Structures are given as C-alpha cells and as structure tokens.
C-alpha cells in the first residue's frame, strides 16, 4: 500500500523548490495524513489491474470453462451404470458374475466336421471330363475372340440380283394365298415358296440380253463393294493381328473337324473359320523340289503321262540336280526381307526349326 502511494506522489505535479528541500520528516508526515481515497486509489488486490476489480479471477474463469466443456455423462456408459448399481446396492451383470452365479453352466460342444466325400472311379472320371469340357470351352472362347470377325464377301451373280429385285413378289404371293384360304386354315409355306421359285425361273428365262447385262453389272458392283469393305477392314488391323487371327482360325478349324459328326467328311464341309486374306502378307518361300516340279510340268515333257508316273520321273530327275537349292536359298532370303519390311521383325519362329543358322545370324544382326 505504501509503495503505491509513493508511486502516485512521484507521478504527481512537481512540488515547489522549498518543499523539495524539506526534510524527510515533513514528507513522512504528509504521507501519513493522506488517505488512499484522497489519492484516487481504490482498495484492490495487489497485481490486478483496476478494470478487473469486482470480476472473478482468471483461475475461476478457467475452472468454469473446463466444467462447461466437459460433456454430460451418458447414463448408458459403464461408469454411470456402476455408480447407479452402487447406489441401488447391486452390481452390474458381467461374464465373471454370470459364471459365479451359475458354476454348472454347460459348455458349448463344437460340431464335428463331416467326413470327406469319397468318389468312385466313375465319378472321378466324370469330374475330369467336366473339367476338360470346361477348359475346352474356355479355350474356344479365347480363340474366337482372337479370330476377329471380318465382313463377309457375299457371292453375287446376275440371277441372284434378279431374285433380289423381285423380293417383294414373294410377299405379294403370300398375301394373295392367305386371302384365298378359309378362316382357321394355315398356309402351306413350302408350296408357296416352290411356286414362287418356278415363277422366278420362268421370268428369268424371258429376260432380254440387255436386262441380263444390267443384272450382271449390279452383281459386279455389289461384289466390288463387298471386297472394298473387306480390304478396308483388313487394312485397319496390323499384319501381326491378322496373323494371330489366322492362327486362331486354324485352331478352330482343327477343333471343328475333330468334333464333326455325320456322313459328309469334314474336309468337304464349308468351314465357319476361313483364313483372312491379307495382301500385305509375303508369300512363303517355295521349296526347291516344288520349284523343280512346277518347271518340269510346265515344260510339257510329261504331258502324255499320268500324274503318278510323272511324279516318279520328276523325283528321279530331282535326285541328280542341286541347282534348285540355290534358287530356294534366294527365294528364302526374299521372303525374310519382305516379312521383315511388313511385320518389322524377322520370322525367327518359323525358320528356327529348319534353318538355325539364319535365325542366329538374324538375332546377332
């Protein structure tokens, strides 16, 4: 308190010179007779500012904030249940209490695992067969995806174009036949088609040369359109893609021939997977004996002989010749160059088994 009063006096206006030179007793007497109210100082705790007088302290404010931030206790939590149980004079149910209350509780018996099923030989064979069929179906599905689907080149001629032009006549004939039938009876479609075919055949024979030439022109135009679409589709794929598609188609043809049934041989049937024609693919090298045989047959020396005798004589002549080996080597080099220019790599896989020296040289290059 005394320190505050001294500080207040020192901050006040300067005293006259005569007061400043007074003794210490005068200053002490003046301080003793001066009240705090007269000095403008209110009674408060030391260390607190004037504006905080009458307000709660910081410690109390912090305690109030902590209490306000603390969430209300949940009546469902474990602590609240324990407090409520103690007040009621009971204890909450737990696993330990349940065991203590019922010591003779029956333990759960684990279910025994059933024995493994034992298959007979016939069942195992049937299971293997099903697995093989599933694998074959999966392989066929992947092969079909790799085989691609080129546009079909529909064959066309003048008579087919004539039939296409009279396609609406069949519907007119069917409608006329339906009108003639009594109510509730069915139309004989087979007889109607036969009659329509006879009418078309008779009408075709009566066509003039100019009309036939017109239908020939239509057939030629249709064929060219289909071929252009086919070639455009082939050009939209890389040579390697077409090569893989043809490989998949060969596998599908083999599967088709092995699984075919019926009296007609599989080789005479029309396959669903013909090879895709690609003009960019280089022709394979012709074997020396084939070149020699073609040259000898073209010479006309064996024209009067049957095929078997001709082949025997050509074979005997071939054994005494070796120059066609050189021709075959040159043709083989030509094939490798064309294949590399089209596919971007040498045909190592095809030549590895027959000519390992070429494959090693190509790989080294």
Q: What is the mean pLDDT of the chain?
A: 75
Distance of CA 66 to the CA centre of its chain: 59
pLDDT tens-digit series, residues 157-201: 998 898 888 888 777 777 777 777 777 777 777 777 888 888 888
Six-digit token string for 77: 């939590």
pLDDT tens-digit series, residues 117-135: 888 999 999 999 999 999 9
How far, in Å, CA of 274 to CA of 250, rounded?
Answer: 8
**Better-scored residue on pLDDT, 4 or 214:** 214
How far, in Å, CA of 281 to CA of 240, rounded?
Answer: 9
| Residue 235 backbone dihedrals phi, psi, to 5 degrees | -65, -20
CB of 221 closer than 8 Å to CB of 149: no
How far, in Å, CA of 218 to CA of 246, rounded?
Answer: 32
For residues 331, 333, 337, 342, the Cα torsion angle rounded to the nearest 10 degrees is 50
Distance of CA 252 to the CA centre of its chain: 24
pTM recorded for the entire structure: 0.50
**Better-scored residue on pLDDT, 317 or 101:** 317
**How many CB atoms sit inside 10 A of residue 147's CB?**
20
Question: Could you give the C-alpha distances from 357 to 31, 211, 259, in angstroms and in order?
Answer: 125, 63, 40
């Amino acid at each position: 308190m005394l320190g505050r009063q001294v500080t207040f006096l020192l901050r006040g206006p300067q005293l006259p010179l005569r007061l400043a030179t007074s003794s210490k007793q005068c200053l002490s007497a003046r301080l003793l007779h001066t009240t705090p109210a007269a000095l403008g100082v209110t009674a408060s705790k030391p260390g607190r500012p004037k504006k905080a007088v009458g307000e709660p302290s910081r410690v109390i404010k912090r305690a109030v904030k902590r209490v306000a931030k603390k969430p209300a206790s949940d009546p469902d939590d474990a602590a609240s249940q324990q407090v409520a149980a103690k007040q009621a004079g009971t204890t909450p149910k737990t696993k330990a209490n349940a065991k203590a209350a019922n010591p003779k509780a029956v333990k759960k018996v684990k279910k025994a695992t059933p024995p493994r099923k034992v298959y007979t030989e016939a069942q195992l064979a049937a299971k293997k067969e099903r697995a093989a069929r599933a694998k074959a179906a999966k392989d066929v599905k992947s092969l079909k995806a790799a085989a691609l689907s080129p546009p079909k080149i529909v064959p066309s001629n003048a008579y087919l174009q004539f039939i296409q032009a009279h396609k609406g006549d069949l519907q007119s004939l069917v409608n006329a036949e339906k009108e003639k039938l009594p109510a509730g009876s069915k139309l004989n479609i087979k007889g109607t088609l036969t009659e329509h075919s006879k009418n078309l055949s008779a009408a075709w024979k009566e066509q003039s040369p100019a009309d036939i030439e017109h239908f020939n022109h239509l057939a030629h135009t249709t064929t060219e359109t289909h071929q252009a679409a086919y070639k455009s589709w082939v050009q939209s794929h890389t040579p390697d893609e077409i090569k893989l598609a043809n490989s998949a188609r060969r596998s599908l043809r083999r599967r088709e021939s092995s699984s075919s049934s019926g009296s007609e041989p599989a080789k005479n049937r029309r396959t669903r997977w013909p090879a895709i024609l690609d003009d960019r693919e280089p022709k394979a090298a012709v074997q020396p004996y084939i070149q020699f045989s073609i040259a000898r047959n073209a010479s006309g020396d064996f024209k009067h002989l049957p095929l078997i005798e001709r082949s025997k004589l050509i074979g005997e002549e071939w054994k005494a010749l070796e120059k066609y080996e050189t021709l075959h080597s040159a043709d083989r080099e030509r094939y490798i160059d064309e294949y590399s220019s089209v596919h971007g790599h040498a045909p190592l896989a095809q030549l590895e088994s027959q000519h390992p020296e070429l494959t090693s040289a190509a790989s080294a290059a």
